[in-house]
Structure 1
Amino acid sequence: MIRILTAALFCCLPLLCRADEYQPKVAEASKDAELALEGFVLPDGIQGRLLAAEPNIANPVAFYVANDGRVFVCETFRQEIGVEDNRNHMDWLHNDLRLETVEERLAMFKKYLGHEVEKYATEHDRIRLLEDTNGDGTLDSSKVFAQGFNNILDGTGAGVLELDGNVYYTCIPKLWKMQDTDGDGKADRHEALHHGYGVRVAFRGHDMHGLVVGPDGRLYFSIGDRGYNVITKEGTRLKRPDSGAVFRCDLDGTNLEVFAYGLRNSQELAFDNNGNLFTVDNNSDSGDQARLVYVVQDSDSGWRMYYQYLDDRGPWNRERMWYPHQADDETAAVQPAYILPPIVNISDGPSGFTFYPGLGLADRYNDHFFLADFRGTAGNSGIRSFAVTPKGATFDITDSHEFIWSILATDVDFAPDGSLYVTDWVNGWTGEGKGRLYRFADKEHISAVTGANVTKLLASGLTDFKAEELMELLNHADRRVRQMAQFELVKREEFPLLLKAAESLTDDTKSRHVMWALWQFGLQSAERATKVAAAFLQHSSSESEITTQQLKIFADLARRHPIDAVLPSDLRAAWRERAAELTKVADLRVAGFAAVALGKIGKAEDAAPLIKLLTRNNDADPVLRHQAVMGLVPLAERSPGSLLNFVNNPESTTATQRALAVVFRRTDDMAGLSKLGSGDPETNLEVARALMDERTGTAKFMVLHSVTSDLKGDLLRRALEAMYRIGSDEAATLVAEFASNGTTDDSMRAVAAEMLKTWNNPQQTDTVNGRWRPLPQREVSGLDEVVRPHLAGMLAGPKEVRQTAIEVAAMLGLKDVIPTLKEMLADDAAEENTRVAAFKALANLEADIDSLLNKGRGDMSEAIRVASLELLAERRPEDAVPALKSTLDVGSVKAKQTALRLLGQINTPATAEVLASAFDAYNKNMLPKAVALDLLQASEAVGSDKLTKLVNNFRMDQKMIGTKVAEWNECLEGGNAERGRTVFFGRAAASCRRCHKVNGEGADVGPDLSAVAKDKDRTYLLEAIVDPNAKIAKGFETTIIVDINGRIHSGIIKEETADVVKLMTPKGAIITVATDDIDERAKGQSGMPSDITKALSREDVRDLVEFMAGLKTAKDGSHGKEGE
């Protein structure tokens, strides 16, 4: 046999570490990394090469290629061993929702975990340094640059960047700055620039990341929705514990500010050639989609972490926040004005993100972004590429396509030589101690990088270049060289030279970098900012992009320094005039930045042109709306009340009034919001959001909006929430009146009825958005009298209202409803759930339990008979045992399950005997398999010696079968399909819909399950949940085969028999390999988490199986094979 690879590949050799170094579990060297290259789908002309693999790199989250070619890699070993996820700890969810500081998170860990919390400090995250020490293009050296990131509070180290010898590292709760002062490849200086990131647990992976240096020379980075509460070096507190955000600061950590917020988990950031910032934000696994976001300063993308724990994600889905602006009529009608919506929906698992520097690829890729799309399995993951084109003040996407595919990419970046580096996670979600770094190069165009001396220029640092030479490099074809030249000019204090260059600006890259260098100088002092502002004013241009950059820079300098210190009165007046005039131009990009600039220096009277801009825009361009709002905000702050004259002005449009609501929201102007509240429904809704969603303005809201049949949709929902919070007799009356009103929206009537049910013991989270807003227990002494007059209307409502009304009547002891309840119970044709609710209510309201039990036992409805058993077990447990035993003999499956559950709650010797007999019957096949789980749980609950032995024997017999699925056999039958559907679509802990689709609902990451049960039995379905790697669905399993002749075959298995394996190659061809000709075979892993059962009970698993077992025909009538 011919072996084409050995385990002694240079990149797979383990390296010696000091004895005191942390030694995580890392996979051994193998040839798999080299073989995997054959499975990647590459564009024509692109060649791939392995640079490093395990054990020299493991669990790579992100990486950075330094200008000298060194590679810094973020490695994680703390996933689910310190970096936690609320889905695995739902018991602490409410505690997590109310955390305000990272110190409170530590206290929560100790409260729930006790001494077990110490385990969170056993594993580390770290930075690995890879180098090419002999110049052969391979990364032959691997060292641990920094480790010890194992504090209990530490998150995933998910961002790294090197600049001028400083290595920046984002690892919750800190932003780190490190140095290697002795050149040994290991950090010996560590400085925490900030502390306080990652207030909450939220979801694993929602960490700090995205480090990038902007055109202004500042450090930009992001955090997921774990939130932040940070005190800056200047003493300012930045606090949003419920939201993801983008930050920027100077390179020493000073002047930290929130650049944008309302993001869910935007992992990385990238600037285009005009200095516009973009990110791609992740979706919430609820049918929403990931989003390309233009990150505009001070923008709010709308996401809050507590939305995640609402089954429908609350306003995020209901108000269509994740849709592009005015994507359709429904979106235009409900999408909030306070958010900046995305450009487009793209990707399923956005991770690494970078921008093409300008050389190394074909011209097609000029101005293109590259995005790692991580979906948990290589076959569905890879690198996307796209560009953006201007569209008014915002952008549109173009040329979106898969660039490299079938690689589980976590990050992507360009090396100095123009090639594309990609890290490969290899398998799964939590890390298996494996990892690879690959290089992809365009063999035709890579020479352009050499011709332009890019590698040498970047490695040199440009320190020996003259100033005039640096100025010429500002026009270099590679942006990294241009930026390095810009930064070097700033370091050398070439301020006069750059001011001179600003006298002759043209629309080219050199002029942009000249302006950006002046931006950096202007940030240094008010004196220099004044000179920059004067130069821009004196040397204005008709070129729109130059004008845009000047406005943008001027506004930022006015933000950094006190206005009066930056601008003498004459210069300020001239800039005011210029900015006001530019708000009128047709170019919306110019007009938008002019609006922001005007706000920074304007006076109260400068609101007029901004209002006119909003009116002209009429909500057509969301970025222009946002920029006009951000122009008005500082004017309103400097001159309180100055905008009230524009409220409800006859000449104002709805779009203008909604924008004013956003201004008042941002400035906490209650007077403005109150005045706006008498406007049109769209404006009223925007006011309601401002008052209710993140504030406690319930009383003010109710002055404006009472719960009436005139209110609709999301405005009505907030009005009901306001009543619930006020909690008075009057408020309860309004809610009861609404719940009984048959002319109003049925779904909202059901919400109102639910509120009445918990009125005196209110839930602790906001019913609209899930925010932690605790209410004390209260006693509305006359609640029964409040509800009584409206009960008939509620009982006459739809089933959701009717059933809740019955529960309310029982809770309040309203005995005058007993006749109605008896009629409902006696009506065999009535809806079954209503009859059950009536039976249970009568049990609470009537003294004559015997007659009710007799009625229940003889009822035609199994649900009523089951309710009767439950009542008997509750009121007379010892009398219930014989009845429950009888039910085990003759009852239906559902009745038997109920009987076993109830027996488990009655711990007597008689119960133990019944359960032991039931075990004997089960073993003799006299009880159905559908009751196995109930029998085991009841026996464990009663816990006699005999029952314990029977349970242990049952478990041992399962284990002896030797398969994981056998250990879950009690979950094969007997589930509840409706509950299973809820687990599939609504349970955050399961997140099934994150990857799978059923009848059009869900995502396309994994197989479509719409008709999965057509030819798959329950054992297959159960195995897919508890042991997903046992049988990977066809079309989703990637396999690499080396045949006896040394040839490598890679592809997706299409068919496999005892004699042959048929693969579909990355190019779409079908090849057949005889089984006898296979020398070696490497099987891919399933993208489904192998430990999903940690977050599910056995009942959940059984219910999921039951739900999927019913999926035999897709909605369109097909029996598709995707779910095989």
Structure 2
Amino acid sequence: MASCDLRRRDRRVAEAVRHAIDGEPPTGVNSRLGLAFTIDSASAGISSVVPYRPGVVMRRFVIPALIMLVVLIMWSATPAIATVDDATSVEASQAEVPEGFEAAVIATEPQIQDPVAFWVDPDGTLLVAETERTNHGTMDNRSSPWQLEDDLQALTVADRVAYLEKWKDKRANGMDFYREKEDRVRRSIDSDGDGVYDASTIFAGPFNDVADGIGAGVMTIGDEVWYTNIPHLWRLVDEDGDGVAETQEAIQSGFGVRFALYGHDMHGLAFGPDGRIYWSIGDRGYHLETADGRILADPRSGAVFRCERDGSNLEVFATGLRNPQEIAFNDVGDLFTGDNTSDAGDRARIVFVAEAGETGWTMDYQSLDGDNLRGPWEQERIWEVVTDENASFRPDWTLPPIAHVGAGPSGFAHYPGLGLPEEYADHFFMCDFTGSRPNSKVWTFRPVPDGAGYRLENPRIFAKGMLNTDVAFDWNGRMLVSEWGGGWSATKQGALHAISHPRGMADPRITEARNIAIEGFANRGMFDLAELLGSDDQRIRQSAQQELAERRAVAAFEDVARYERRTLPRLHAIWGLGQVARIEAARNRKIGSAMRPLVALLRDPDPEVRVQAAKTLGDPAYAPAKDALVEALVDPASRVRYHAAMSLGAIGDREVAPYLIAMLAENDDRDRWLRHAGVVALARLEARAAVEELIASPAPSLRRAAVLVMRRWADPNLERLLFDDEPTIRTEAARAIHDLPVAEAMPALASLAAAYADAEGTTDQTGIEVLREIRRCDSSPDGKDLATLADFERAADSVDRLPVFEGIDDGGANYLTRLESRIRIPETGEYRFAITSDDSSILRIAA
């Protein structure tokens, strides 16, 4: 606490020196009364009062003493060097917000520069993940085409570094090019309590190793700060309270074996309802050697990971994502993210991230252009929500998105519950970053249960006018939004906007929650902590749950789970019992006392309580719950059946396989999420005899389930389904054999090639030719009427004949927006298209 006081004193002294030199009233001046004071350097107190005359008295009496005080404070306390910005002040935000809301800028550079992500502590301390390494250290295959083939072959971080060495002559200064720019974590504070961030330190950095970047996730966990920066997951600790992390420990390494595309980094740190830490990575892949000797590897896909709070038990939670920038949990503990487009006509996706789920993207698709643009991702509409048009040919091994929202999902946050009007309860807020301030937005929406999955309710634009990268909620009831400097490259600029609802901020529960969070939970009694499980702030509920779990407070959790009337505190009590069970199991102790209450709750009248009881019983694989979970497979609520199946798979008793098959048969492919649960459970059980039963079934839905289970095993017996009577099942088997691949089944797949060689319906594209004319503009057009832009009337700067239209890479930094247009051409002939682009653009012409 003393060091904090000294840093604030430093700032006041520095301001006094500056104002004295400028002839302005310094700190400690009452200009209305015409008085000023000098400062005694020994005591830092007022030693005399003199008449104040701007620029005269202060020069004569105050400056020497003030300068001496600055030196003495720095020598005796050695505080972190703080940057004082004399220009920063509360100013109007350009953000457009709903009626009744207000917006203000509460931080600008240098207190926030090139922000990718941020975190705000209860006391208002701001931690910002900043980067300078965009395309200068962390590269993009589109701007470095010579490395594409090597990038596609890289399997480890060492492979990536090796090919950078191979191509080092392509960079100015060779390998030093990759070390010239840095990432960092900045710590900013409001030193004088006026609501504006005015001082900062570099909390950790520089991160500028050849393999580093981009640092894109930061979160406080107790006294630790966790930070995601490929190739490492970092634990950072400020040991002495000086605003700088003395401890910088890599919890896990091996992330980001490829470059893929700019921005597809590791990010999205979040607390899970189960007490684990979750985070995401884009399709830069990973090759991880865990502390317990396991290898987790996938060089091609994005994923969500989770681990315990001490970094142990790292696992892949879900995969097949493209670039899930951030992730967040809703009030009932389900995980969601926004995933980006591949710039090929596909749309951004809102994904319900299910455990063991695969959403179908592989980084290899990004390199497919021309007639095979993005391969199956586009041709089989893997990216698209399920519709009547695509349901018959969309792959069944992938889980579909629940909606299409935005163009460039980035920051993603769940509203914790205080500060906004009631209509925003259990809503998510998502930054839509497009590289252009006028076209970037903050969306809001609420996922609502739909069978065992979700659908999206009322997605709408909440705010716009900011080049927003991240969104979070502070402890004053405000939404905070970070703003990038401009375009796609680092500019050393940035801002932080605060969006508030004055009536909502007047809620006394906000101050109460903030004070509770600042005071902490370690010294609170069991009764108080149990009461806080019912807080209106999700973060308080989570923290109280965590403290009770660490105390292994089974009785307190059981009382709330059984007797509390409100649903949310009961759910946190259920999750807390699951945490206790994992803690005890890790110490080889019995877990029955924590799990038995949940078995009884499988018959609770509240369906959400039954859902979470079924889910939590599988977390420590509590075998005595097997029979009760089998009964739950016929629960009226689809989500209860879903989690009962998943938990039975985790418990691992193959005797339950017939009941899982019965659930799949009753579902009959109607609910894809229920099918997913049944398939995952059978795959985890290694129930091969049950799969033989599925293969022999006359029901197509069960034979299809057999294919999906065998895909998870990479089973050579998939070749048997290549000759199924149902075409969609044959196709699903062929996909599995090809995609994985299953080498033993390849000859059987190849033998079918002749039957499809002369298939009808192919389109002859040989008559299409494109004349590309490029005209470089000195300034960005506003996009309102490109056809009449004067630049199009002059001679072209270059002309090329191409079989497929393509734009030019890195044409400039004035990115206007992402555009998708579909034009129906009524007849053959010659057509002219005007396209503005400073990045890769593709015009698809389909016959």
Whether these two folds match at TM > 0.5 is yes
- Asked whether 1:552 is paired with 2:552, we answer no
Distance 1:525 1:971 in 2: 75
Given the superposition, is the C-alpha separation of residues 932 and 666 from structure 1 closer, same or farther in structure 2, using an over 3 Å criterion?
Answer: closer
Gaps of 5+ in 1: 1-5, 559-565, 712-737, 748-797, 801-830, 834-862, 864-893, 898-929, 934-964, 1002-1009, 1014-1020, 1026-1088, 1097-1103, 1116-1124
* 8 Å CA contact 1:674, 1:704 repeated in 2: no
Amino acid at match of 1:744: E
- Asked whether 1:207 is paired with 2:265, we answer yes
- Asked whether 1:322 is paired with 2:383, we answer yes
Aligned pair partner of 1:47 in 102, 118, 132: 102
Amino acid at match of 2:268: G
Given the superposition, is the C-alpha separation of residues 665 and 997 from structure 1 closer, same or farther in structure 2, using an over 3 Å criterion?
Answer: closer
Distance 2:547 2:80 in 1: 38
* 8 Å CA contact 1:221, 1:247 repeated in 2: yes
Aligned pair partner of 1:360 in 419, 429, 436: 419
Distance 1:124 1:537 in 2: 52
Question: What is the Cα deviation at residue 464 of structure 1?
Answer: 3.1
Aligned pair partner of 2:138 in 83, 89, 94: 83
Question: What is the Cα deviation at residue 631 of structure 1?
Answer: 1.3
Please, which moves more after superposition, 235-244 or 380-389?
A: 380-389
Question: What is the Cα deviation at residue 384 of structure 1?
Answer: 1.0
Given the superposition, is the C-alpha separation of residues 94 and 972 from structure 1 closer, same or farther in structure 2, using an over 3 Å criterion?
Answer: same
Question: What is the Cα deviation at residue 315 of structure 1?
Answer: 0.5
Amino acid at match of 1:322: W
Question: What is the Cα deviation at residue 138 of structure 1?
Answer: 2.3
- Asked whether 1:371 is paired with 2:430, we answer yes
Alignment of 1:329-728 (within 5 A): 329=389, 331-450=390-509, 453-504=512-563, 506=565, 508-526=567-585, 527-540=589-602, 541-558=604-621, 567=623, 571=624, 575-601=625-651, 603-635=653-685, 637=686, 639-650=687-698, 652-653=699-700, 655-675=701-721, 677-697=723-743, 699-702=745-748, 705-709=751-755, 711=756
Given the superposition, is the C-alpha separation of residues 354 and 1011 from structure 1 closer, same or farther in structure 2, using an over 3 Å criterion?
Answer: farther
Please, which moves more after superposition, 450-459 or 313-322?
A: 450-459
* 8 Å CA contact 1:521, 1:528 repeated in 2: no
Question: What is the Cα deviation at residue 452 of structure 1?
Answer: 5.8
Question: What is the Cα deviation at residue 185 of structure 1?
Answer: 0.5
Question: What is the Cα deviation at residue 599 of structure 1?
Answer: 2.0
Given the superposition, is the C-alpha separation of residues 701 and 989 from structure 1 closer, same or farther in structure 2, using an over 3 Å criterion?
Answer: farther
TM-score if structure 1 supplies the norm length? Answer: 0.62
Given the superposition, is the C-alpha separation of residues 993 and 216 from structure 1 closer, same or farther in structure 2, using an over 3 Å criterion?
Answer: same
Question: What is the Cα deviation at residue 534 of structure 1?
Answer: 2.1
Question: What is the Cα deviation at residue 47 of structure 1?
Answer: 1.3
Q: Deviations over 1:93-137 (max 9, x none)?
A: 111111110011000100011561221112110011111233332
Aligned sequence identity (%): 34
Question: What is the Cα deviation at residue 260 of structure 1?
Answer: 0.3
Distance 1:832 1:156 in 2: 41
* 8 Å CA contact 1:388, 1:397 repeated in 2: yes
Question: What is the Cα deviation at residue 799 of structure 1?
Answer: 7.1
* 8 Å CA contact 1:376, 1:408 repeated in 2: yes
Q: Deviations over 1:165-212 (max 9, x none)?
A: 100000000000010010000000111000000000100100000001
Alignment of 1:135-150 (within 5 A): 135-150=193-208
Amino acid at match of 1:335: R
Q: Deviations over 1:784-817 (max 9, x none)?
A: xxxxxxxxxxxxxx574xxxxxxxxxxxxxxxxx
Alignment of 1:768-783 (within 5 A): none
Distance 1:988 1:542 in 2: 59
Amino acid at match of 2:162: A
Aligned pair partner of 1:218 in 268, 276, 298: 276
Q: Deviations over 1:243-262 (max 9, x none)?
A: 00000001121100000000
Which structure carries more helix by proportion? 1
Amino acid at match of 1:746: T
Distance 2:310 2:774 in 1: 64
Q: Residue 41 of structure 2 aligns with which residue?
A: none
Question: What is the Cα deviation at residue 577 of structure 1?
Answer: 2.1
* 8 Å CA contact 2:694, 2:705 repeated in 1: no
Distance 1:22 1:531 in 2: 49
Q: Residue 762 of structure 2 aligns with which residue?
A: 746
Q: Deviations over 1:1057-1083 (max 9, x none)?
A: xxxxxxxxxxxxxxxxxxxxxxxxxxx
Alignment of 1:887-902 (within 5 A): none
Distance 1:183 1:160 in 2: 18
Give the paired residue count.
745
Distance 1:476 1:220 in 2: 23
- Asked whether 1:111 is paired with 2:166, we answer yes
Given the superposition, is the C-alpha separation of residues 666 and 374 from structure 1 closer, same or farther in structure 2, using an over 3 Å criterion?
Answer: same
Question: What is the Cα deviation at residue 672 of structure 1?
Answer: 5.0
* 8 Å CA contact 1:505, 1:546 repeated in 2: no
Question: What is the Cα deviation at residue 441 of structure 1?
Answer: 1.1
Q: Residue 855 of structure 1 aligns with which residue?
A: none
> The residue matched to 2:366 in structure 1 has which SS?
helix
Question: What is the Cα deviation at residue 233 of structure 1?
Answer: 1.2
Amino acid at match of 1:351: S
Question: What is the Cα deviation at residue 450 of structure 1?
Answer: 4.6
Distance 2:774 2:272 in 1: 62
Amino acid at match of 2:99: D
Question: What is the Cα deviation at residue 988 of structure 1?
Answer: 11
Q: Residue 270 of structure 1 aligns with which residue?
A: 328
Question: What is the Cα deviation at residue 41 of structure 1?
Answer: 0.8
* 8 Å CA contact 2:217, 2:229 repeated in 1: yes
Distance 1:30 1:966 in 2: 40
Question: What is the Cα deviation at residue 273 of structure 1?
Answer: 0.6
Q: Deviations over 1:51-84 (max 9, x none)?
A: 1101221100000011222110011011111010
Given the superposition, is the C-alpha separation of residues 440 and 671 from structure 1 closer, same or farther in structure 2, using an over 3 Å criterion?
Answer: same
Alignment of 1:12-161 (within 5 A): 37=92, 39-114=94-169, 116-161=174-219
* 8 Å CA contact 1:178, 1:189 repeated in 2: yes
- Asked whether 1:294 is paired with 2:352, we answer yes
Please, which moves more after superposition, 619-628 or 68-77?
A: 619-628
> The residue matched to 1:283 in structure 2 has which SS?
coil
- Asked whether 1:995 is paired with 2:818, we answer yes
* 8 Å CA contact 1:506, 1:543 repeated in 2: no
Moved over 6 A (4+): 20-23, 26-31, 930-933, 965-971, 986-994
> The residue matched to 1:345 in structure 2 has which SS?
coil
Q: Residue 60 of structure 2 aligns with which residue?
A: none
Distance 2:722 2:79 in 1: 63
Q: Deviations over 1:343-383 (max 9, x none)?
A: 01111111111111111010101111111111111111121
* 8 Å CA contact 2:546, 2:576 repeated in 1: yes
Amino acid at match of 2:380: E
> The residue matched to 2:270 in structure 1 has which SS?
strand
Distance 1:550 1:931 in 2: 62
Given the superposition, is the C-alpha separation of residues 295 and 528 from structure 1 closer, same or farther in structure 2, using an over 3 Å criterion?
Answer: farther
Alignment of 1:1059-1074 (within 5 A): none
Distance 1:744 1:690 in 2: 24
Amino acid at match of 1:70: T
Q: Residue 252 of structure 1 aligns with which residue?
A: 310
Distance 2:193 2:420 in 1: 23
Question: What is the Cα deviation at residue 705 of structure 1?
Answer: 4.8
* 8 Å CA contact 1:583, 1:590 repeated in 2: yes
